[in-house]
A and B are shown apart, each in its own frame.
With several copies, the nearest count.
Chain A
Amino acid sequence: MLNIIKKSPYESSALSDCLKYIKSGDVILFTEDGIYAVKKEGAFGKLVSDASQTCAVYYLFPDAEARGIKSEEVISLAKPVDYKGFVDLVGDSLKSMTW
């Protein structure tokens, strides 16, 4: 299952709600204000790095650029995708859940 998180983890429970439901083999994609979750320096970098032990973690690169989050500021286990990569992720999982 592909899990999409688009809200800031600092102001929304979307990330923590999602993490309660993930299973090995799931994919998590961070988009829009969800991007702040993959920032290395910040309150959620460690949590998301831990989650990447179970799940493949991606972030939407154009949304990170928009917010001034450069790739070197992102946790090393999160992989960047552009919109085409986003489309592939949706296709590769049998279904998606937007948290």
Chain B
Amino acid sequence: MKDQKAKIMFVCRTAPYGTIYEQEAIEAMIMFSSYEQDISVAFIGDGVFSLKKGQDPSLINIKNFTQTYLVLKDDFEISHLYVEKESLEERGVREEDLLAEVEVIPRAELRNKIDEMKVLLPF
């Protein structure tokens, strides 16, 4: 592998549970975090619903994988968790409704972060 750290961003655009994309995206984030690269995660569109507090999928017999977001920055080597402000607003989700400490930033600013990346992984 090359010397300089690669800047890679997971772009999470789907809601949890209805599809498996967010769950398998998290599995990839955890794995990626152990390779000492520069990994960030952006939640846009329905992806912001993954961060909503109080999820309890036990009634539908599904594992609550989103708890992982609580520890992603601390226990794993994820550089940034960005959430797009406009997507939150459109969906009526407030910052205090979010389950993890994240950076809420406007779309235009997130686009600038995207421009710095080498690779985008949409989920």
Is there a direct interface between A and B, measured as CB atoms under 8 Å apart in the complex? yes
Which residues, 5 to 55 on A, are CB-close (under 8 Å) to B?
Answer: 6-8, 10-11, 13, 17, 20-21, 23, 32-33, 36, 39-43, 45
- With a CB–CB cut-off of 8 A, which chain A residues contact B52? 67-69
Question: What is the size, in residues, of chain B's interface with A at 8 Å between Cβ atoms?
Answer: 35
Would you give 18 A-B contacts (Cβ < 8 Å), ordered by A?
A8-B15, A8-B18, A8-B46, A11-B13, A11-B45, A13-B45, A17-B13, A21-B111, A41-B92, A43-B92, A65-B59, A66-B55, A66-B56, A67-B17, A68-B54, A68-B56, A94-B118, A95-B117
Sorted from nearest, which 5 A-B pairs have the closest CB atoms? A41-B92, A33-B18, A62-B59, A66-B57, A42-B92
Taking Cβ atoms with an 8 Å cutoff, the residues of A that contact B are: 1, 6-8, 10-11, 13, 17, 20-21, 23, 32-33, 36, 39-43, 45, 61-63, 65-70, 94-99
